[in-house]
Amino acid sequence: MSDLKIAVLGVGMMGADHVARITSRISGARVVVVNDYLTDKAEAVAAGVPGCRAVGDPLDAIADPEVDAVVIATPGSTHEKQLLACLEHGKPVLCEKPLTTDVETSLAVVKREAELGKRLIQVGFMRRFDHEYAQLKALLDAGEFGEALVLHCAHRNPAVPPNFDSAIIVRDSLVHEVDVARFLFGEEIASVQIIRPAANPGAPQGLQDPQIAIFKTVSGKHVDVEVFVTTGVAYEVRTELVGEKGSAMIGLDVGLVRKTSPGSWGGQITPSFKERFGQAYDTEFQRWVDAVARGGTTGDYTDGPTAWDGYAAAAVCEAGVESLNTGLPVEVTLADRGSIEGA
Ligand code: ISE
């Protein structure tokens, strides 16, 4: 079978990383078109990939007859238009989170995809493809912990870009724990509360960092998260699941443990999510490419989080931002999934 020909929209840090991954680390696909609002950047990336060209307009890149499928790694504010264009052209798309930047437009995208009757959108919640998360989910589903009860999470970044405000921490960072909780527990989140502890004196003025989030799921399970994005240390993501018959923790970063003179021991923490989740991104892309190859017969071009997962995460984050302002628990409002997907 011939390679899947992909357009990558947005070749900033993640997009350029995805171009490299498709070109050198996964099989069955190649990048034929790249696009970026920085034309020079797109041209430089295209020049490094045999058979790849830069196209100036993202909508032209999507419509390009050579392009079979699309990867969206552009800023969130551009996603709605680009996703709708992919749907109209019937092109499978792997879209980095967020699906779109607000709940209404996310729901509109979910509905349009449902009307077309094909699953063309996969959302880039890559943690689901990380070996440790996948192992935890498999053990949980096999009943090894009995009933799952509680999830304790820590999400720490050494630093974030200067545009980060307190709400972006919810929508851009905490959103991963939203997806992890929905993925592991297999149910929706019913309410969110965000508590504002004393802020890190080293954080930019006015940034509420750290934040403590508490989710309650529909069946009453508890999730707590410390999200702290200006630690100045390294990248740390830990998740501990507590169940009826035991508990398990992932993300301890205990790779090689080194002992050196005089009398010290230790290892290394990954510097950023690119390294920590490198394997997860590779697996995510390989499985997406394989799913797209099967999609012509199944009508399902995804193997992972769908447009609904992107919409549900947006709805939880919306409630989270409201709680960040009031300090009170806020209920999550979700559309009726059955009536949309059965449509
Ligand atoms: C970033 O956008 C990511 O997706 C990372 O996984 C997360 O750890 C970071 O906080 C976000 O800013």
Q: Which two tokens stand for residue 311?
A: 């919409």
CA of 6 relative to ligand 1 center, distance in Å: 24
Give 333-342's long-range contacts (Cβ < 8 A, gap of 24+): 334/188, 335/107, 335/110, 335/311, 337/308, 340/110, 340/111, 340/114, 341/114, 341/308
Measured CA to CA, the distance from residue 174 to residue 200 in angstroms comes to 17
Q: Domain 4-126+278-306 class?
A: alpha beta
**Candidates 101, 128, 157, 239: which one to mutate for ligand 1, based on the most atoms within 8 Å of Cβ?**
157
Side-by-side strand order, sheet with 222-228: 246-250, 236-243, 148-156, 222-228, 211-217, 189-195, 330-331
229 lines ligand 1 (CB under 6 A): yes
Same fold, 4-126+278-306 and 127-269+315-331: no
- Ligand 1 atom closest to residue 160's alpha carbon, by position in its atom list: 12
Domain ranges of the chain: 4-126+278-306, 127-269+315-331
From the CA of 164, give the closest atom in ligand 1: 12
Measured torsion, CA atoms of residues 170, 102, 333, 308, in degrees rounded to the nearest 10: -100
Encode pLDDT of 133-142 as tens digits: 999 999 999 9
What gap in Å lies between CA 207 and CA 200, rounded to an integer?
Answer: 9
127-269+315-331: which CATH number, 3.30.360.10, 3.40.50.1400, 3.30.460.20, 3.40.50.300?
Answer: 3.30.360.10
Q: Is the CB of 157 under 6 A from ligand 1?
A: yes
Rounded-to-integer distance, Cα 3 and Cα 29, Å: 5
CA atoms within a 13 Å half-sphere pointing along the CA-CB vector of 19: 30
Both tokens assigned to 262: 């005089």
For residue 308, how far is its CA from the centre of ligand 1 (angstroms)?
A: 20
Entry pTM = 0.96
Per-residue DSSP letters for 12-46? SHHHHHHHHHHHHT-SSEEEEEEE-SSHHHHHHHH
282: alpha, beta or left? (left if phi > 0; alpha if psi -120 to 50):
alpha
Closest protein CA for atom 3 of ligand 1: 173
Mutate to test the pocket of ligand 1, among 127, 165, 173, 269 (most ligand atoms within 8 A of CB): 173
Position 326, amino acid: T
At 336, the pLDDT band (50, 70, 90 cuts) reads very high
Q: Is 173 in the pocket of ligand 1 (CB under 6 A)?
A: yes
pLDDT reported for residue 330: 98
Q: Which residue minimizes the CA distance to atom 9 of ligand 1?
A: 173
Instruction: Give 14 Cα–ligand 1 centroid separation in angstroms.
Output: 11
Q: What is the 157 CA–ligand 1 centroid distance (Å)?
A: 8
Q: What is the pLDDT of residues 251-282, one digit of tens each?
A: 998 889 999 999 999 999 999 999 999 999 99
Per residue in 91-129, pLDDT tens? Answer: 999 999 999 999 999 999 999 999 999 999 999 999 999
Cα angle: 338, vertex 341, 343; to 5 degrees: 100
As a whole number of angstroms, the distance between CA 267 and CA 255 comes to: 7
